[in-house]
Amino acid sequence: MRKLVIKILSAAVVLLGVAMDFYLGVFNLSNLSVDILSGIFIALFYPLSYEDVRPSMLFACVSAALACAVHILGGIFSIKLPLMVSLSVIGPLVYLLFKSRNKFFSVRALFRLDSVWCSVEDYAYIFYLCVFNLLAMLLVSFDALKPAWPFYALLLCLMLVFYGFIIVRVKTGKTLFISKNKEVQIKDIIASNMVGVLNDEGSNEFDMGAVYTRIQDAMEKQRIFLDDKLTVDDLSEAVGTNKCYVSKAINIYSGKNFRQFVNYYRVLYSVELMKRDKRLTISEIAVMSGFHSVVTYNMAFKVYMNSTPYAYALEIRAKDRTKNKLPGHGAAAVAPIPVLREDKKR
């Protein structure tokens, strides 16, 4: 969700700039280039796969607020271009310094098993930052030299292509810095090495127990599994770690893969719904529990409860009728949702 906010901020800053240009009657290729530059500027704060989302979110929000102020005040006082270029160049550089300090602050982080992939992402980010600064300098040079409009049109096309490049990179998670085959090879090697480390009972390098505890909190307290579009990326963002660690922690401590683990919680929650409100239909319970379809719900329910949802619901109603017939018994209490707690002492 936080990553989505950065994408929205990037688009909103561009639209605000264009709207202000039209409102003040100063819309032209030069100002449109500045507007596109501001959108790229915000998109560059999108976090890399191994980075915490919170600092990126903070930098993006502050920078978006400053960019909006520049669009408004700069447009009014006709100083939009120098202010926006200055902000766009200084902001990402400060962010890069912040990222570098955090990365080299911990020695252990430099020896991660996926450090090669992290380096590829870092170099790709620096490359994109250099291209961005080059475009900003060209824009400043054009403003000073006042070339013919085809040169502005060419610069605007380059900015649009680069902006599209950044958006594709953000959407796909690929670096677009090396070939797709190279990326796959690097990730496969990292995955195979990581499996060997995590299968070593004496290894606690990544503190999988702590990761699994945070996963349990996200499932049991936040009930994140109710989102029918939940992915391992969403869960890793919620617990603040890498998606590979999330998958391995789930596998080690629950013996399930990600999908099985999530469906387990959904099934348990559906049982709670059956006991809480017996008027609900099976399809309503499936949707409320986070399942895409009744078919998927039936399959998952049978795996974990050894029965179909319909048969289980009938059994609950039969037990309730029996209890109500017994003297001294009122309405049955609703049982709380069971929790998936595995012994972490291995």
**Is residue 132 included in any domain, yes or no?**
yes
Verify that 298 and 338 share a domain, yes or no.
Answer: yes
Do 320 and 332 touch, CB atoms closer than 8 A?
yes
Domain boundary among 115, 144, 179: 179
Verify that 81 and 153 share a domain, yes or no.
Answer: yes
Q: What is the CATH number of the domain that holds 230?
A: 1.10.10.60
Burial of 150 (0-12, 13-18, 19+ CB in 10 A): exposed
Q: How many angstroms separate the CA atoms of 319 and 312, rounded?
A: 11
**Is residue 77 included in any domain, yes or no?**
yes
Domain that holds residue 336: 206-346
**Is residue 187 included in any domain, yes or no?**
no
Verify that 101 and 218 share a domain, yes or no.
Answer: no
**Is residue 200 included in any domain, yes or no?**
no
Number of domains in the chain: 2
Q: What is the pLDDT of residues 165-211, one digit of tens each?
A: 888 888 887 888 888 888 877 777 766 555 444 444 444 444 777 88
Verify that 137 and 264 share a domain, yes or no.
Answer: no
Global pTM reads: 0.55
DSSP state of 44: T
Verify that 76 and 125 share a domain, yes or no.
Answer: yes
Q: What is the pLDDT of residues 204-256, one digit of tens each?
A: 444 777 888 889 988 988 899 999 889 998 898 888 888 888 888 898 888 88
Verify that 151 and 216 share a domain, yes or no.
Answer: no
CB atoms within 10 A of CB 112: 16
Q: How many angstroms separate the CA atoms of 65 and 70, rounded?
A: 9
Q: Rg of the Cα trace of the chain?
A: 27
**Is residue 188 included in any domain, yes or no?**
no
Instruction: Please give the biggest Cα pair distance in the chain.
Output: 95
CB atoms within 10 A of CB 314: 12
* Residue with the two structure tokens 């380059």: 158
Q: What is the pLDDT of residues 75-133, one digit of tens each?
A: 777 787 888 888 888 888 888 888 888 777 655 555 565 677 788 888 888 999 999 99
Q: What is the pLDDT of residues 293-343, one digit of tens each?
A: 899 999 999 988 888 999 998 888 888 777 766 555 444 444 444 444 444
